[in-house]
Structure 1
Amino acid sequence: MSDKQNILYVILDKWADWEYAFAAGAVAYLGEDKYRNIVVSTDTNIKQSMCGLRCLPDCDLENVPTKYAAVVLIGGLSWRGGDAEKVMPLVKQCLEKGKPLGAICDACRFLAGMGVLNNVKHTGNGASELNEAGDGYKNPQGFVAEQAVRDKGIITANGTAALEFARELCLELGINEKQIETWYTFYKRGFFASA
């Protein structure tokens, strides 16, 4: 267990559980026991998802493992409030360490407001939404109208792209590309899709 690399998934109250499920599932399944999924939040109190699921975070922001392979911000309804600001130091640390940083749905808007997306191609829930992120966002020309975008270690996706987000995260982590594509195709097309 000790040789596993930590993947930190940051959730806030009213988190989007479906956005976490594919990413964490793909990392655990395709990572061949290389990674450990760790749920992080502002505190260790139970966080309820948008669907009513309750999650007890593994640690709070003050006790995040010092060694990790990536930080992943899971979307939801709380990325525009005060709790989100508490995540900024972890995001900055992740960037300083040169580790992959992922964000999906409204967490993309959060990164835009921080200025994190100013030098990378990126996506989110729409160009207009990112433009409303605040003065920190200065890269509307970098917006790409795709489900998920990976550029310079930053992975972004819109709220309907949990599967694509998981694929791009796994690719960024260096997991076997053939295995990723087989996994992705299975979940995208299902059991009964024609060849």
Structure 2
Amino acid sequence: MARLEVPRPATFVTLTGFMGVGKSRIGRELARALMLHFIDLDRYIERRTGISIPDIFRHLGEEAFRRMEKEAVRELVGKDYLVLSLGGGTFMDPESQKALLGRGPVVALWASPETILERAMRKPGERPLLQVENPLERIRTLLEARAPVYRKAHIHVSTDGRRVEEVVEEIVEKLWRHAEARGA
């Protein structure tokens, strides 16, 4: 049976950015807007392992989790018709970064450290990297370290003080511009 081809700016889109910038919520809506499947990498890993991300960190450690991320990216980068929402640290891995940048547009979502903290504190037990005395300082430190890597993304969008629909609309517009610039 032939697949119905729908005009869309990309058939594989990656969302990256720090925790709490809205990758999962925005990714779901972006996938809907582009008529693509959606995978949240953290949920994907949880389903594959049967272990929650906080428990993976707690019992197996961050290094084991990063290996799982890398393996999952290797597996998913071969898929089509997908919006892939990464964990905040996934894009730091050079191999994953290269594979994703070569696969399709990578969109970096941004928010201020204060916004990130406010969003992250809605689910405090789910953010293992923020289980510290001063989470805002931890966010600033990690964000500063990761920002140069996030800047390698093809497209950049701020989520501060914006509705999901607004952000998705901006991403779609930028994806079309990106596709046109690449001659797609």
TM-score over 0.5 (shorter chain): no
More helix per residue: 2
Q: Between the two structures, name the one with larger relative contact order (CA 8 Å, sep ≥ 6).
A: 2
What TM-score, normalized by structure 1, do the two folds share?
Answer: 0.40
What TM-score, normalized by structure 2, do the two folds share?
Answer: 0.42
